[in-house]
Structure 1
Amino acid sequence: MLEIILLCGLAALAANLPFLSDRVGFVLPPDVLKMNFGWRLLELVLLYLAVGVVARVLEARVSTVQPQHWWFYVATAALFIVMAWPGFVWRYFWRKPGL
């Protein structure tokens, strides 16, 4: 049960990370490469995949890994995007320009 709560918290944090930083890949400063929505979307996809790997490892520790079909990945991607909504709103709607 604790693993599920930690995984949901990790997913919520990972979904909002691309919108909290102006650094590309959390490494390159904003002076080197301009951070735009395309980079944030790429980071969101990569973090979705990273959380999926963590979930798969946790599932493998508990029992055999169940095979999933494409609709499972579509549903979890949609949930991941919904979890990213607070970060998106903060970055593009709530924050004052120039901050």
Structure 2
Amino acid sequence: MNTSLLSWFVIVIALLAASLPFFTERLFGLITIKFRKTVWLRLFELVVLYFLVGLLGTFLEAQAGNRFEQRWEFFAITACLFVVFAFPGFVYCYLRKQSFE
């Protein structure tokens, strides 16, 4: 598979994973819970999904054959990017006008 295509694949997966905690009331989109999700639970999901997407990216990079060392700057930038990717889900969950029909 093309390296550029793998990069775009990881970016799209990160965009979807970052918004997932805000679009559903299920834990990680899979597990039904009996109570309404709090902000802290959503943030916990966001952190876990960040690391899962990071593991996927590392695995795909290793499969492509050019695994590079990442330092703290890489993780700071990708964490900020992941939070930016979560913005549409945050707006959908907390900032949009609720309709009471």
The two structures have a TM-score, normalised by structure 1, of 0.88
Unpaired runs of 5+ in structure 2? none
Matches within 5 A, 1:4-83: 4-26=7-29, 27-29=31-33, 32-83=34-85
Find the aligned partners of 1:13 and 1:98 in 2 and give their Cα distance: 28
| Aligned residues: CA RMSD | 1.8
Q: Secondary structure at the match of 1:17?
A: helix
Alpha-carbon shift at residue 33 of structure 1 (Å): 3.0
Q: Summarize deviations over 1:49-86 as a string: whole Å, max 9, x none.
A: 01000000011011242111112101100000001101
Q: What one-letter code is carried by the residue in structure 2 that aligns with 1:9?
A: V
Unpaired runs of 5+ in structure 1? none
Tell me the matched-pair count: 97
Runs of 4+ in 1 over 4 A off after TM superposition: none
Q: Percent identity?
A: 36
